[in-house]
């Protein structure tokens, strides 16, 4: 049965990611640190899968992710080959099995830059059996060591991106997902946890506001502040997880977004760039409040069109009956259970 609280958090996170990338509002990274949350929910889901199916769950999790990604990869390879050219080497295979950043030309890099998340997610899946064992044996050190490594990388000028940086930056969030699955976070008293989170989050915000980046007070420009604030934010959200929850009228939309979360994430950057290019050709201004509304509405409409066109690939990957419109099953319970069902994050 589905965990409605997890579904709601994932849906809000996906919408926040699209909104931020469209409008570029730095305050959104502070108001709702979506990427850390998405990794945490993935960690919770992975722990549940490992406990239920063992090592076999690795293949199942990868199967849920790779087919939708391969559709994007085929589109990327064909379009970049036609527009600007694409290097001919074995690295083109990374567009179909993204364990590293695949090659991209100047035209395609902005359109497909979001795939770093899929690359990192696959590595976390593969490493989860070891990470889960380490977390359950040494829970506190397993959270502190990645943070220490990230601080060292940042201070030595190696913390601006890449596989290693992303691993150490989001490993704590992934393992907080383990703690959520195990029920550990829910057992901590709010009188203890919330003040501690206020201190940790406050330090993160202090670092951000004393060292703003090129985009201002944007957490994406300050990884150490991002990790501290995201960790505090996640601890509060996951500690407050209710045992039962009904989404009411919002449930169909929430479930539809969850069933197409991967498609939405993979294609939203292409939608953003397409909308901006069309607006430029038509001479439509996207500045100001009205321009922002036009841009965001157009992006969501274009993403919806992509979802209706190829979103059913996620159903095939999940071995569900393909649906053009991802309508929820009427027989499914509306009651929340503690553990999430295996849906792609």
d(CA 99, CA 93): 10
Range in 92-106, 247-261, 327-341 the model is least confident about: 327-341
State what percent of residues in the chain have pLDDT above 90: 74
Task: State residue 213 phi and psi, 5-degree precision.
Answer: -95, -170
Print burial letters for 6-41: b (CB count within 10 Å at least 16), e (below 16).
bbbbbbebbebbbbbbbbeebebbbebbbbbbbbbb
Q: What is the CA radius of gyration of the chain?
A: 20
pLDDT tens-place string over residues 242-260: 776 777 778 888 999 999 9
Say what the pLDDT of residue 338 is. Answer: 37
Q: How many CB atoms lie within 10 A of CB 204?
A: 24
Say what the pLDDT of residue 2 is. Answer: 66
Tell me what the mean pLDDT of segment 59-64 comes to: 93
State what percent of residues in the chain have pLDDT above 70: 94
pLDDT tens-place string over residues 146-166: 999 999 998 888 777 789 999
pLDDT tens-place string over residues 115-130: 999 999 999 999 999 9
Asked if pLDDT for residue 328 goes beyond 70, the answer is no
């Amino acid at each position: 049965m589905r965990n409605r609280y997890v579904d709601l958090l994932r849906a809000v996170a996906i919408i926040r990611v699209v909104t931020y990338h469209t409008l570029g509002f730095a305050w959104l990274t502070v108001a709702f640190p979506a990427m850390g949350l998405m990794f945490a929910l993935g960690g919770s889901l992975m722990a549940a899968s490992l406990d239920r199916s063992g090592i076999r769950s690795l293949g199942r999790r990868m199967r849920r992710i790779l087919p939708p990604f391969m559709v994007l990869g085929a589109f990327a390879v064909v379009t970049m080959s036609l527009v600007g050219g694409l290097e001919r080497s074995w690295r083109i295979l990374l567009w179909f099995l993204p364990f590293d950043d695949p090659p991209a030309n100047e035209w395609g890099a902005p359109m497909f830059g979001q795939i770093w998340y899929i690359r990192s997610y696959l590595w976390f899946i593969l490493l989860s059996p070891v990470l889960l064992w380490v977390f359950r044996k040494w829970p506190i050190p397993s959270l502190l060591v990645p943070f220490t490594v990230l601080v060292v990388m940042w201070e030595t000028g190696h913390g601006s991106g890449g596989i290693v940086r992303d691993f150490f930056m989001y490993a704590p969030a992934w393992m907080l997902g383990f703690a959520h699955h195990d029920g550990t976070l829910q057992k901590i008293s709010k009188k203890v946890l919330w003040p501690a989170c206020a201190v940790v989050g406050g330090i993160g915000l202090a670092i951000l506001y004393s060292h703003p980046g090129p985009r201002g007070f944007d957490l994406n420009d300050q990884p150490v502040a991002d990790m501290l604030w995201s960790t505090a934010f996640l601890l509060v959200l996951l500690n407050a997880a209710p045992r039962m929850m009904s989404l009411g009228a919002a449930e169909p939309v929430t479930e539809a977004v969850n069933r197409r979360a991967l498609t939405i994430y993979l294609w939203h950057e292409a939608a953003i760039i397409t909308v901006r290019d069309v607006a430029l050709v038509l001479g439509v201004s996207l500045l100001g409040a009205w321009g922002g509304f036009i841009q965001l509405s157009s992006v969501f409409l274009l993403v919806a069109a992509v979802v209706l066109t190829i979103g059913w690939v996620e159903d095939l990957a999940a071995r569900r009956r393909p649906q053009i419109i991802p309508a929820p099953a009427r027989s499914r319970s509306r009651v929340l259970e503690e553990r999430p069902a295996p849906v792609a994050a």
